[in-house]
Structure 1
């Protein structure tokens, strides 16, 4: 290659470096605007309203578990289930059964069968959140232990169940 080719190659590399560094620069960006947390100077009302309290604020987490215990016992009677974790709040049931190895090949059919089994054995107004997700199982197990140790309030139970529901890929 001639000297001219090396000069063109060096110029292209230099130009690329300049363009890349200019693209990554934050000099032209404005910082994100924050809403003030303080009282507005026009009124005495807070700009940001206080967070809403949960409707389960005064609920006793241990007393809410009768539906979960009934569902867990019913689910563990199924041949494909080796263990189950269940927590309930009001008429919502969150349950994660642990299934036999062979059943894991057809989880979709098992979930449908599990939902039908629970619909037949539980009161009609029960909202069933059934999943076979392992992360949801671990979180429900930890929550069950916290409920048994009486370290969970009704409001915290509601909050934690909302986050567990995100792990549950399927629910009805």
Structure 2
């Protein structure tokens, strides 16, 4: 290594140390507190806080009468092995487990299931029926949690919203 290369290397190292020390904050001082992230058009926060659910004081176990009716009605269909249902207010969420051969014609089955539920449930009931497997797993977990009493009304509402996303077919 010649003298010129050594001189350049020393200069580069000193410049890097100087730059890195200038970028840091002075010792013992706290960083400035900034305002929360605001939209450039208004003074409203970009992500406003979520309002509390209107179902915060609802007992999920008392809300399941529609679900029980829907489950019984759906299980009467010969294509259905088992069904999981949960209800909240006038909404009923139901996912029937269908027999293997029925999976070839799910659209016709869903129509038949909707008609069966419309005939047996009160007219103001909003029916969410799906044969999606992910919705089935999540609704099954939710029904188990409701039966064990570990779900609040607010959590029931939140979990049903996420299950609705899995339900590709909604009426």
Smaller-chain TM-score range?
0.7 to 0.9
Matches within 5 A, 1:13-162: 36=36, 49-162=48-161
Classify 1:49/1:103 alpha carbon distance in 2 versus 1 (closer, same or farther; 3 Å): closer
Structure 2 alignment gaps of length 5 or more: 1-33, 38-43
SS in 2 for 1:62: helix
Q: TM-score, normalised by structure 1?
A: 0.73
Deviation track 1:15-35 (CA, whole Å, cap 9, x = no partner) reads xxxxxxxxxxxxxxxxxxx97
Q: Indicate the residue corresponding to 1:171 in structure 2.
A: 170
Which stretches in structure 1 are left out of the alignment for 5+ residues? 1-33, 38-45
Structure 2 length normalisation: TM-score?
0.73
* TM-superposed deviation, 1:126: 0.4
Q: Name the larger-Rg structure.
A: 2
Structure 1 SS opposite 2:118: helix
Structure 1 moving runs of 4+ over 2 Å: 46-51
Q: Which whole-Å CA distance do the structure 2 matches of 1:146 and 1:130 have between them?
A: 20
